[in-house]
């Protein structure tokens, strides 16, 4: 196996024997083959687009396939076997339709023609060996192709959440097909792929805007909320991941059952939405970021539901009370099936299971504050602008992104704690758990940590920045007193980064390490064009950031 798609890639280079995330070589092979199959479908999909042929369900199929390969989203080999076979079948159906319509297919890439005539894992594995990341020999082309693919994975995840709420944009699916097909095209130069990378960022903005619209028009605009982090004495279900539709359906189905609902990790921002506040059995948030799940799930005692990544291979003590749904999966966890004909998912099995289990053990008490997505910040705009004008706020620090296992990430806790008291942290994603319980105080009633929401709500931070640019009548977003010190872990953070770049944001510092998939030349392009930097130590970095603009 070779995988270097996340920040925890072994040795900062890539996982070759087993993933730090727990991905085995067999699973890695199937994921490589999944991506290859999606590239093949996309080649035909592009031809169908050109011929004006609509393929029902194609956007959704590709999105799900990409999402399943995001770091720690799905460890279930059986699901990949099924999905790859479906992919080849769908691909060949599109091919047959096009031939029937007299569309000239020309010479097709191997990805669009290969077959696996066996259910044997070994055959799948040997097929995948020729199609993995290292199949592209030139390291710069490989780096750019993978950068695009990882951006597409993040984009697909966000587009899928929007689609679950009935919000779709066919242009996004079309772009994903074009870009996937382009990663097979040997005639494209490094410059072509750099241009495609930026275009991926533009579509990242479109996708996050669509998801923002889907979330806010369905559940209302996030608002300032004190979120309870303590527990009650009832059986309970802990919901992890990002999918708000799943969350809503579970809240509905648990009403009046005596089972409480808590959020974990990236589901915390569900607490900020007005629509979910009417449920008395929605208690609050339990625990911290994804990587702490082993100890926290153990103590939660109840049922756990993953709606998306990030799954950590479980301890045997709680594995039998974990469920997955959507694109997430893990062998041995029960999987809740997809919606059929727009009907709600059936969560009855896990609700009945929860009733038989004890209440959560308290691990924390008190509250944390969040809900500062764009509408809420706009509502406070006068206050914020006055504070900037009076000098009460000197600088904003966008510290969005991810949390993770590495000790080096304690940098972000120390950084947040050491920031001058006249600075505000703007955050989104699970990075917040590094400092959202530090009690960093407020500036004239404006909390010093403003949490916009999930990683996709980084879009909100960009909208806020653009609004401030307008209010202060600046020509360039980079003239604002905003510094970007972003932590990343997996591929959704890649699309967030590309989206920020496409909006013209410069001098983003990325840590705790730069992606292993950036070759030295590609890293140089990012440094030279966008001023991308990394982190060093808290003291020097704060001095450097405070000096800028
Ligand atoms: Fe991932 Fe990062 Fe959203 Fe976290 S991008 S790791 S769980 O911030 O949040 O899915
Ligand atoms: Fe390694 Fe990350 Fe790939 Fe998992 S996703 S195999 S940890 S690089």
Beta bridge partners of 397: 425, 483
Q: Rounded to 5 degrees, what are φ and ψ at 441?
A: 80, -165
Ligand nearest to the CA of 157: 1
Q: Which sign does the torsion angle of CA 238, 243, 248, 250 carry?
A: negative
Question: Which residues sit opposite 15 in a β-bridge?
Answer: 3
Give the Å distance between the CA of 263 and the centre of ligand 1. 14
Closest by Cα among 13, 11, 14, 12 to 3: 14
Closest ligand to the CA of 458:
1
Cβ atoms < 10 Å from Cβ of 260: 25
Q: Is residue 245 part of a domain?
A: yes
How far away, in angstroms, is 430 Cα from ligand 1 center? 6
Cβ pair 385, 474 in contact under 8 A:
no
Instruction: Determine the pLDDT at residue 549.
Output: 58
**Per-residue confidence of the chain (549 residues) as pLDDT tens digits?**
999 999 999 999 999 999 999 999 999 999 999 999 999 999 999 999 999 999 999 999 999 999 999 999 999 999 999 999 999 999 999 999 999 999 999 999 999 999 887 767 667 777 777 899 999 999 999 999 999 999 999 999 999 999 999 999 999 999 999 999 999 999 999 999 999 999 999 999 999 999 999 999 999 999 999 999 999 999 999 999 999 999 999 999 999 999 999 999 999 999 999 999 999 999 999 999 999 999 999 999 999 999 999 999 999 999 999 999 999 999 999 999 999 998 999 999 999 999 999 999 999 999 999 999 999 999 999 999 999 999 999 999 999 999 999 999 999 999 999 999 999 999 999 999 999 999 999 999 999 999 999 999 999 999 999 999 999 999 999 999 999 999 999 999 999 999 999 999 999 999 999 999 999 999 999 999 999 999 999 999 999 999 975
Question: Do 21 and 124 reside in the same domain of the chain?
Answer: yes
Residue pair 286/333 in contact by the 8 Å Cβ criterion: no
Domain boundary among 355, 372, 388: 355
Q: What is the DSSP letter of 291?
A: G
Is the residue at 64 inside a domain? yes
Domains: count for the chain: 2
Closest-CA residue to 538 (of 433, 427, 399): 399
If you measure from the C-alpha of residue 18 to the centroid of ligand 1, how many angstroms do you get, rounded to a whole number?
A: 22
Task: Identify whether residues 131 and 236 lie together within a single domain.
Answer: no
Q: Long-range pairs for 406-411 at CB < 8 Å and ≥24 separation? A: 406/7, 406/8, 406/512, 408/511, 408/512, 408/513, 409/434, 409/487, 409/512, 410/434, 411/511, 411/512, 411/535, 411/537, 411/538
Q: How distant is the alpha carbon of residue 423 from its chain centre? A: 27
pLDDT of residue 392: 98
Q: Considering the domain boundaries, does residue 49 fall inside one?
A: yes
Neighbours of 54 (CB within 10 A): 8
Task: Tell me: do 231 and 332 sit in the same domain.
Answer: yes
Mark out the alpha helices in 101-138 (DSSP H runs): 121-129
Q: Where are the alpha helices (DSSP H) in 233-333?
A: 244-254, 293-300, 316-319
* Residue ending a domain, choose from 102, 135, 168: 135
Q: Ligand 2: list residues with CB < 6 Å.
A: 3-6, 8-9, 15, 19-21, 23, 71
Q: Is residue 10 part of a domain?
A: yes
Q: What is the CATH number of the domain that holds 56?
A: 1.20.1270.20
Tell me whether residue 205 is in a domain.
Answer: no
Mutate to test the pocket of ligand 2, among 14, 16, 21 (most ligand atoms within 8 A of CB): 21
DSSP string, 318-339: HHTTEEEETT-B-TTSEEEPPP
The answer to the question of residue 17 being in a domain is yes
In a domain, 426, yes or no: no
Length of the chain measured in residues: 549
The pLDDT assigned to 548 comes to: 78
User: From the alpha carbon of 496, which atom of ligand 1 is closest?
Assistant: 5
Q: Is 64 left (phi over 0), alpha (psi -120 to 50) or beta?
A: alpha
Domain range enclosing 340: 225-355
Select from 6, 208, 211, 402 the residue to mutate for testing ligand 1; criterion: most ligand atoms less than 8 Å from CB. 402
Which residue's CA is the closest to the ligand 1 atom numbered 6?
Answer: 402
Q: Which residues are annotated as a binding site for [4Fe-4S] cluster?
A: 3, 6, 15, 21
**Per-residue pLDDT, 142:** 98
> Which pLDDT value is given to residue 122?
67
Any domain includes 474: no
Q: Which long-range contacts (CB under 8 A, 24 or more apart) does 52-59 make?
A: 53/94, 53/97, 53/98, 53/101, 53/103, 55/90, 55/94, 55/97, 58/90, 58/94, 58/173, 58/177, 59/159, 59/163, 59/168, 59/170, 59/172, 59/173, 59/176
pLDDT, residue 307, reads 98
Centroid of ligand 1 to alpha carbon of 113 (angstroms): 35
The answer to whether 19 and 28 are in contact (CB under 8 A) is yes
Residues 6+ apart with CB under 8 A from 469: 476, 477, 479, 480
The reply to whether 110 and 234 lie within a common domain is no
Q: Which of 81, 63, 66 is nearest to 27 (CA)?
A: 81
Give the residue, by CA position, lying nearest to ligand 2 atom 2: 6
**Residue 348 shares a structural domain with residue 229:** yes
* Residues 16 and 130 grouped into a single domain: yes
Helical segments of 324-401, H only: 348-355, 374-379, 381-390
Q: How far is CA 444 from CA 156, 391, 393, in A?
A: 40, 12, 10
Domain containing residue 340: CATH number: 3.40.50.2030
State how far the Cα of 146 lies from the Cα of 142, in Å rounded to an integer: 6
Which domain-ending residue is among 333, 355, 377?
355
- What is the chain's alpha carbon radius of gyration, rounded to the nearest angstrom? 23
> Looking at the CA of 21, which ligand is closest?
2
CA-closest candidate to residue 444, choices 490, 362, 403, 388: 388
The ligand whose atoms approach the alpha carbon of 31 most closely is 2
Residue among 75, 148, 18 nearest 309 (CA): 75
**Same domain? 108 vs 237:** no
Taking Cα atoms as reference points, which of 184, 138, 201, 160 lies closest to residue 69?
160
Residues that constitute the known binding site: 3, 6, 15, 21, 242, 266, 310, 402, 430, 455, 490, 492
How far is residue 218's CA from residue 17's CA, in Å, rounded to a whole number?
A: 44
């Amino acid at each position: 196996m070779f995988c270097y798609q996340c920040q925890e890639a072994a040795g900062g280079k890539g996982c070759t024997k087993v993933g730090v995330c727990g991905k085995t070589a067999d699973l890695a092979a199937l994921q490589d083959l999944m991506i290859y199959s999606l590239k093949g479908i996309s080649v035909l999909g592009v031809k169908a687009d050109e011929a004006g042929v609509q393929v029902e369900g194609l956007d959704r199929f590709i999105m799900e396939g990409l999402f399943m390969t995001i770091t720690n989203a799905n460890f279930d080999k059986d699901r990949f076997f099924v999905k790859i076979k479906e992919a080849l079948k769908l691909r060949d159906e599109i091919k047959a339709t096009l031939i029937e319509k007299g569309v000239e297919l020309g010479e097709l890439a191997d990805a669009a023609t290969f077959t696996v005539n066996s259910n044997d894992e070994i055959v799948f594995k040997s097929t995948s060996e020729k199609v993995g990341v290292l199949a592209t020999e030139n390291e710069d082309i490989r780096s750019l192709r993978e950068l695009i693919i990882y951006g597409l994975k993040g984009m697909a995840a966000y587009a899928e959440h929007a689609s679950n709420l009935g919000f779709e944009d066919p242009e996004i699916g079309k772009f994903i097909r074009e870009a996937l097909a382009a990663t097979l095209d040997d005639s494209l130069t490094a410059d072509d792929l750099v241009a495609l990378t930026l275009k991926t960022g533009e579509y990242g903005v479109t996708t996050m805007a669509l998801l923002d619209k889907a979330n806010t028009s369905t559940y209302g605009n996030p608002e300032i909320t004190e979120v309870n982090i303590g527990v009650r004495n009832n059986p309970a279900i802990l919901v992890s991941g990002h999918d708000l539709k799943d969350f809503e359906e579970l809240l509905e189905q648990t009403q009046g059952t005596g089972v409480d609902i808590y959020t974990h990790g990236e589901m915390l921002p569900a607490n900020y939405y007005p629509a979910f506040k009417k449920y008395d059995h929605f208690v609050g948030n339990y625990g911290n970021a994804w990587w702490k799940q082993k100890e926290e799930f153990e103590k939660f005692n109840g049922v756990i539901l993953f709606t998306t990544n990030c799954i950590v291979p479980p301890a045997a003590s709680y594995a039998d009370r974990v469920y997955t749904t959507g694109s997430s999966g893990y062998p041995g966890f029960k999987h809740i099936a997809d919606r059929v004909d727009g009907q709600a998912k059936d969560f009855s099995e896990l609700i009945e299971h929860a009733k038989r289990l004890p209440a959560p053990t308290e691990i924390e008490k008190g509250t944390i504050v969040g809900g500062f997505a764009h509408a809420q910040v706009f509502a406070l705009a006068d206050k914020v602008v006055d504070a900037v004008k009076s000098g009460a706020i000197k600088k904003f620090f966008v510290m969005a992104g991810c949390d993770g296992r590495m000790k080096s990430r304690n940098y972000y806790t120390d950084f947040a704690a050491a920031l001058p008291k006249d600075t505000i942290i703007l955050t989104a994603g699970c990075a917040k758990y590094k400092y959202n319980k530090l009690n960093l105080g407020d500036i004239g009633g404006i909390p010093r940590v403003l949490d916009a929401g999930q990683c996709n709500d980084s879009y909100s931070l960009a909208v806020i920045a653009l609004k401030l640019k307008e209010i202060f009548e600046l020509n360039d977003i980079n003239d604002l007193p905003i510094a970007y010190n972003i932590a990343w872990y997996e591929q959704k953070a890649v699309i967030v980064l590309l989206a920020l770049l496409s909006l013209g944001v410069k001098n983003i510092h990325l840590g705790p390490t730069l992606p292993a998939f950036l070759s030295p030349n590609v890293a140089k392009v990012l440094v030279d064009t966008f001023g991308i930097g990394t982190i060093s130590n808290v003291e020097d970095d704060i001095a450097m950031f405070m000096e800028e603009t």
